[in-house]
Structure 1
Amino acid sequence: MQDVTVESGDWHGLGTDAARVREAVFIQELGIAAPLVSDDADLDAVHVVAYRRGDAVAAARLLPDGAIGRLAVLSDARRMGVGSLVLHALIAHASRRGDRFVRLYAQRDAVPFYLRHAFSLVGEPFYEAGVEHVEMERRLHAG
């Protein structure tokens, strides 16, 4: 994908750009309350931000327990593989640090995306912040 780079780091280095993407997607587009979009877990997470021509267009985080979250892609960057680049970077990081699996809470509309990336459904749908979600996981290592 031309003009797209992916950076990994901590909240201090990438938080401003990650927050900008989250605000556009979660708060402005989906109407989720601002206090639910960022939390103290950001300080302990690995963050990945995708940039297109220098502008942040996607972001997500990986928590120490293997939870992937806050995956957001700006509307004009969707269906171009940017979300996949971010997800692959987080999975690679989890694998390198020895995680046995990664898990996430997918919005119902995003389930096909995660199924294409070898995630499996776990449990029943539930609502969080007024949006239907389902838990999904992907095993990284045999065992």
Structure 2
Amino acid sequence: MEIRVTRDTMSDIYFDALRIRNQVFVKEQGVPYELEVGNALEEASAVHFVLYDGGVAQGTVRLLPHLDEHSALIQRMAILKEGRNKGYGTLLMERLLEFSKASHIDKLELHAQVSAKAFYHKYLFTEVGAIFEEAGIAHIQMERTGLAE
């Protein structure tokens, strides 16, 4: 298994991330494509992580740095259906956390689908605020601080 990282929105890695996100969010969950990939500036500013198993892209997540450079937003965690329950999400999250620490990011935020909040609890994320709807799906804001310690 291998996790490749890119900021290049013209790379094969990025296109693999888009393919996974389109399959999971647009086709499976019914999120409008314009919401999923609607902001070219965010796409270009983000760090995209893609997990490959046997050379085949199976999962992705992106990290969008905030302007202060010491905090970032985790977004678009997606694993293809055939790759679920194989630990791919764990590997992606561990790699993202390593990258964040090495980049001196001290605070991470995310909007978790309510069904996935237990996954993020394992990585010391805590819930902030009330459940809200995003793209027609129930979400909860979560955060983790103290990464740089």
* Range class of TM-score, shorter chain: over 0.9
**Across the two proteins, how many residue pairs are aligned to each other?**
139
Distance in 2, Cα, partners of 1:46 & 1:12: 13
The one of 103, 110, 125 equivalent to 2:116 is 110
Q: CA deviation at 1:91?
A: 1.6
Match of 2:78 in 1: 72
Deviation by residue 1:36-75 (Cα, 9 ceiling, x = unmatched):
1112201011110001111111011101121010010011
Q: What residue ranges of structure 1 are gaps of 5+ in the alignment?
A: none
Match of 1:30 in 2: 29
Q: Normalization by structure 2: what TM-score?
A: 0.89
CA RMSD across the alignment: 1.1
Match of 1:62 in 2: 63
Q: Percent same amino acid among aligned pairs?
A: 34
C-alpha contact 2:6 2:14 (8 A) present in aligned 1: no
C-alpha contact 1:73 1:83 (8 A) present in aligned 2: yes
Q: Normalization by structure 1: what TM-score?
A: 0.93
Distance in 1, Cα, partners of 2:48 & 2:94: 12
Match of 2:98 in 1: 92
C-alpha contact 2:31 2:135 (8 A) present in aligned 1: yes
2:3 is equivalent to residue 6 of structure 1: yes
Q: Which amino acid aligns with 1:133?
A: H
